[in-house]
Structure 1
Amino acid sequence: MPMLLGKKLNEEWVPTLNITSNASGAAKAARKGDIVVIVDVIDMSTTIEAVLDAGAIEVFGASPDHISVPVQVNPEKIGYYAGKNALKNDTKLIIATEPRLGSEEERKENIQLALNGVKRAGVEIEAIVPNLGAEVVKLANFEGKVVLVISDSGGVAYDTAYNYGAPEVITGTVARTLKKSGVLPAKESAQRAIRLAQKFKTGITLVAASSNSYEDVLAAEHISKLIIEEGFLEI
């Protein structure tokens, strides 16, 4: 799609806001130096919003194994950094991934690269739970934990932006969680992006995790409107 508002002039920081989609869009946004906001309503970004509500101290996203995309992903690297972050904070790691139904062993089958990174980091995995969105908080205690979400669309887009050098990769959702409803999830997503863009003096790019997912596209557009309403583009 991309929608562009604002631009940089003569090295002076002028806030910019973009909307794009897919891992390829995430790569371009990261190369540009933007804060990248991954919007994967069902379920990756909603899972992350829920676990943050539940007290998670840090969240990461990664690609599963055997994904074919026209950009570089490195789930082993992200697994390693997630693990090191947990060790730094003297806590454990929780992984959320697919399939929703099935055993932990089935969920492990397609995330071996990320698990290799976690193993190298030397951190303890407390649980591997389904990527369920808001309901995930009923499956484990996320208070004080680091969380890694591995998924086919949102996880791949996050992985891409992370590995292409975005100053920060975060997520956003419009879906309700156990602690937030109405406009609040989207508004907090917008405010989170603005704080980081102001910190790093960058633009913001919202990435609909899949251009084939109408809910991701609409959610990205909605969050972008809230970012504008918050005055981000005002100089």
Structure 2
Amino acid sequence: MVVEDDENLRLAVRMELARAGLTVAEAGDIAGADEILAGGGFDCVVFDRMLPDGDAIDYVHRRRQEGWAVPVLFLTARDSIADLVAGFEHGGDDYLVKPFATAEMTARVMTLSRRAGSGRPSVLRHDDLVVDSARRQVRRDGVLLSLTAKEFAVLEHLMARPGVAVSRTDLIEHCWDSSTDPMSNVVDVVIRRLRAKLGEPEILHTVRGRGYRIGGDPQ
């Protein structure tokens, strides 16, 4: 679904997504989007942030608190770090700054749509670690942990494959955008921060030569 008040841009986005084989609904404001979304069945929603009846991040934040789990891509001309962080903290899954290449937008939507169609349960559990994807909350032994959007994405991806080593390449493909250098240390930095926040006993392990794994014996 595309929610954008600029009719020309909305049409361009809809046509590009349709060419990629997606069925696209559209709305020009939050109220119209809410009415259509009530029918369910969506794999991804593309929201312009500033709409005639409000900021879309407030709507998405409220819906996330209600348990709504459809992936969201924000489109916006607001490109400050604070704006990007706010988008993720209010429940966005991805963020694209205007002007943007429609091919990149389509690639991001396809990635989010595949994630939605994976059949992954909304609550993932392993021992005393619980990841609630709908509410974007993580608890260990009942204690609520404060994670960044990227830390949450990496942990969620690992928790969906308990006991399986996930490669750095796989993590970058699913948790970062296509411009990320696979040779950079971004994964190592997030893993290190996650380990510190998850605490003891250690549950996030490094598997030499293969990647990272939730659960199982350390190697």
TM range (shorter): 0.3 to 0.5
**Structure with bigger gyration radius:** 2
Name the structure, 1 or 2, with higher relative contact order (CA <8 Å, separation 6+): 1
TM-score in terms of structure 1 length: 0.32
